[in-house]
Amino acid sequence: MKSLVAYFSYVGETELNRQIVEIQKGHTEIVAEKIAKLANADLYKIEPAIAYPKKYTDVVNVVRKENDENPKVEIKNLLPSISEYDTIYIGFPIWYRTYPRIVASFLSNYDFTGKTVKPFCTNDEGSFGIALLELNAQLKGASVKPGIAIHGSDVNSCDEKIEAWI
């Protein structure tokens, strides 16, 4: 069987080391590419049908609203199936202590029964918050393995940490 790295990554203004900075490539995308290479896995970028705003204050407002209302965020490029994969790495930035609602929407489109899921995240604190609890609740029937959290400032130098985790 095959492995898949499915991830959502944000590009625009973000918080890094307690400062707002603009990034041209998302932290989660950088980590996802490393995982795909090290695990010899297919790579799939989860993209919203309507792009998130680039300004930090604007994206924060959208994320707050999504967390309050828990909508199914429309995805523009859904995979037709995940049936050919036995291991799926799921990656995301931590937004308000959990994964973005677009990731929840992605997960709700597939049956993960019998799949091995290995979550990874990027953020400014280096932890999963409540994301792992929510993943376990959403992925009934899957074997959710311990995840890896990468601090945003460490994404370019985390290869050994990722390799040990894989």
Q: What does pTM read for this prediction?
A: 0.95
Q: What is the pLDDT of residues 1-42, one digit of tens each?
A: 799 999 999 999 988 888 899 999 999 999 999 999 999 999
pLDDT at site 156: 94
Q: How does 5-44 read in b/e, with b if 16+ C-beta sit within 10 Å?
A: bbbbbbbbbbebeeeeeebeebbbbbbbbbbbeebebeeb
Where do the domains of the chain lie, and which CATH numbers do they carry? Answer: 2-165 (3.40.50.360)
Q: What is the pLDDT of residues 52-90, one digit of tens each?
A: 999 999 999 999 999 899 888 999 999 999 999 999 999
pLDDT at site 36: 98
pLDDT at site 129: 87
